[in-house]
Amino acid sequence: MKRTLNVSARLSGRTGGRGQTQRYCLHSKKRTKRNNEGDILMNILKKSLLVLAGAATLAIAGTANAAALKCVYEGPTSLTTPDRSNTIGCDFTVVVKIGCDGAPDYSFEIVSAGAVPGDASCSALFTGGLPWTGNLFGAGGISPGPGTINTANQIPFSVVDAAFSIDGGGVVSGVSSGVTTPYACDTATVQIPTSVTVADPTGGSPGNFGPVPGQTNYAIFTTTSPLDLVSCAVVQ
109: exposed, middle or buried (Cβ count in 10 Å: 0-12, 13-18, 19+): buried
pLDDT tens string 118-152: 666 777 788 889 999 998 887 778 887 789 999 99
Distance CA 195, CA 232 (A): 12
Domain boundaries defined on the chain: 65-235
Q: What is the reported pTM?
A: 0.72
Helix (H) or strand (E) holding 14: strand 13-15
pLDDT tens string 31-86: 344 345 444 444 444 444 433 333 323 333 333 457 899 999 999 999 999 999 98
- β-sheet bridge partners, residue 209: 172, 219
Give the least confident one: 24-28, 180-184, 194-198. Answer: 24-28
